[in-house]
């Protein structure tokens, strides 16, 4: 029998900071509303929101040695190697001190998923999946106006393809384990949040 890895947030020396943190993976296509709904959840339920995309964009801005590689991959809609993204997520969890995290936009492919589990031993409590048609996501991304280099129609189409080819299989993996909570994300923000609240609400003892 293999050794069972302890689920924990550890410091850089391997000492345990937080045992068995609550982790919810927040997944869905580009523009499905992950960031918008996570902001609502932080306000109502005391989670810390970590967006893998935001962490990668901050890494570009910081002038890190990986910056150019990350920038080129994001421009092409490609997925950055797991070791880079996982280090950023681990550092953010270490520095934060909370024990409840919404990890938004991660895992994006099978490599992300397996590597995170192997490195941290952490399995998500569940996966929140925002399901939204491409036409609606495209409309939202083209009017987002946040100056993101990947919010142009050429990159958006590539991101949609990567979502279908690489990210949906991860959602299916967790679905087979009964861990996916699927939300119809094509409705107005408030209606979507009502459905989200029903999942995180008082009945969910593990979360509260
Ligand atoms: N339910 C909604 N109805 C209409 N517009 C929405 C809805 N949810 C989010 N938006 C808007 O759509 C855009 C994309 O939303 P958001 O940034 O939350 O998506 P995302 O899933 O995090 O996207 P990405 O994967 O590109 O980071 C934003 O401009 C946001 O204000
Ligand atoms: N696990 C991840 C998450 C994000 N990226 C890169 C590639 C995405 O297109 C881009 C933007 O992410 P978003 O803000 O839309 O969640 O960031 C990645 O490589 N790996
Ligand atoms: Mg986002």
Task: Look at residue 208 and tell me whether its pLDDT is greater than 60.
Answer: no
56 CA closest ligand 2 atom index = 17
- Ligand 2: does its nearest atom lie under 6 Å from the Cβ of 30? yes
Structure confidence by residue, pLDDT tens digits, 30-52: 999 999 999 999 999 999 999 99
Please tell me the distance between residue 2's alpha carbon and the centre of ligand 1 in angstroms: 42
Q: Which burial class, exposed, middle or buried, applies to 111 when counting CB atoms under 10 A from its CB (0-12, 13-18, 19+)? A: middle
Q: Do the annotations mark residue 63 as ligand-binding?
A: no
Which residue puts its alpha carbon closest to atom 25 of ligand 1? 30
The pLDDT-based confidence of 179 (bands split at 50, 70, 90) is very high
- Ligand 2: does its nearest atom lie under 6 Å from the Cβ of 179? no
With beta carbons less than 8 A apart as the criterion, state whether 129 and 51 touch.
no
Q: What is the spatial distance between Cα 129 and Cα 105, in angstroms, rounded to a whole number?
A: 10
Q: What is the per-residue pLDDT for 205?
A: 47
Residue of 205 and 56 predicted with greater confidence:
56
Structure confidence by residue, pLDDT tens digits, 112-132: 999 999 999 999 999 999 999
Q: What is the spatial distance between Cα 107 and Cα 27, in angstroms, rounded to a whole number?
A: 8
Query: Helix-strand-coil percent breakdown of the chain, rounded to 5?
Result: 50, 15, 35
Give SS3 for 27.
Answer: strand
What residues contact 118, with CB distance under 8 A and at least 6 apart?
5
What residues contact 100, with CB distance under 8 A and at least 6 apart?
21, 22, 45, 46, 47, 48, 207
């Amino acid at each position: 029998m293999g050794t069972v890895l302890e689920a924990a947030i550890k410091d850089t020396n391997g000492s345990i900071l937080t045992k068995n943190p609550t982790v919810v993976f927040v997944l869905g296509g580009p523009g499905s509303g992950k960031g918008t709904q996570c902001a609502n959840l932080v306000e109502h339920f005391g989670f810390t929101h970590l967006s893998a995309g935001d962490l990668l964009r901050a890494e570009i801005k910081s002038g890190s040695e990986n910056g150019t590689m990350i920038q080129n991959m994001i421009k092409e809609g490609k997925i950055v190697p797991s070791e880079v993204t996982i280090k950023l997520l681990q550092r953010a969890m270490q520095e934060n001190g909370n024990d409840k995290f919404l990890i938004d936009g991660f895992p994006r492919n099978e490599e992300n998923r397996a590597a995170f589990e192997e490195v941290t031993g952490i399995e998500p409590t569940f996966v929140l999946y925002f399901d939204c048609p491409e036409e609606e996501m495209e409309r939202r991304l083209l009017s987002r106006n946040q100056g993101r280099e990947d919010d142009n129609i050429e990159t958006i189409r590539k991101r949609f393809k990567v979502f279908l080819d690489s990210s949906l299989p991860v959602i299916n993996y967790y679905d087979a384990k009964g861990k996916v909570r699927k939300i119809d994300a094509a409705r107005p923000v408030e209606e979507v949040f009502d459905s989200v609240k029903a999942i995180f609400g008082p009945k969910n003892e593990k979360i509260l």
